[in-house]
Amino acid sequence: MVGSAIRELKPNPDWIYLTSKDCDLSDYQKVKDCFHEYKPDIIIHLAANVGGLFKNAAHRLEMFNTNMIMNYNVLDNAYNAKIQRVICCLSTCIFPDGLNRVLTESDLHLGEPHSSNYGYAYAKRMMEVQCRLYNETPGFHYQCIIPTNIYGPRDNFHLENSHVIPGLIHKCYLRSLSLSSASTSNELVIMGTGLPRRQFIYSKDLAKIIVRLVEENIYEPLLICSCPESEETTIYQAAKWIAGQFGIEKVVASELKSQNTENDGQQVKTASPARLLSLFPDFQFTQLENGIQETVQWFKNNYPNVRM
């Protein structure tokens, strides 16, 4: 998703774009051979075994092991090949749970992550530690960006293992197919209370940030990439915007009345983009409603040939 968005920006004709079909990052030797073949100056490491709340919670050991292996193989081979710059992608879900304040870069290791993200979160945290250790070698700049919930074209739209926006888009699409039936009510039922608040970032916005970091030689070691706190929204509101794109008039949160938070994950994980905006004070984020509209249109144009 993010790599494709970078490619569409066409930042430099010499940039090389690899997918999992080009190299198995779980195989140390194959990664070594890949770097030897392409001889990159900079690596943008976006690959991960990633999913939404339910995948992270159900496969904690798998998420930890696979991401630890991939991250180690990429970073250690880059270091041994004397590639002096790597940009790695983390996630705000790896921050400590329960700090009850707006999160900043310095909060990353101040407590344990939410239990639902335990395996994935610690694998990502260890990548940040590994980068810091490599940076003790003069001339090396291994940095980590921390985006909030990413969404956009070419996302994974799996009904169970995806993040919230692509999952809801797919669910709304299937729901819309049955609206012509007189016996079908015009409503969408979502899991959880819908009350958790999230900051979302459009994949094309994140791509622009990454390209600017490279082109402007910004070596910030740890950087939250999110929209301003004022643009944070609830899962329920995001679901309403998505449902509206499919002609669905009503959204019902299945656990709102009981206030059961089992399917909610973290209630709040607001992150501050202050450091990012100090670097790019002119940056304009895509409004969530507009980004959802573009993503839904892409999904409709490409279904069923989407990742799911």
- From the list 79, 120, 142, 202, the catalytic residue is 120
| Burial letters 53-92, b for 16+ CB under 10 A, else e | bbbbbebbeebbebbbbbbbbbbebbbeeebbbbbbbbbb
How many Å apart are CA 78 and CA 85, to the nearest integer? Answer: 9
Nearest to 187 by CA among 175, 177, 201: 175
How many Å apart are CA 157 and CA 147, to the nearest integer? Answer: 19
Q: Is 120 a catalytic residue?
A: yes
Which H helix or E strand runs over 187? Answer: strand 187-190
How many Å apart are CA 248 and CA 253, to the nearest integer? Answer: 14
CB atoms within 10 A of CB 228: 13
Enter the tokens of residue 145. 């960006």
Distance of CA 270 to the CA centre of its chain: 15
CB atoms within 10 A of CB 283: 15
Enter the tokens of residue 54. 């339910």
Enter the tokens of residue 51. 């999913």
Which residues are known catalytic residues? 120
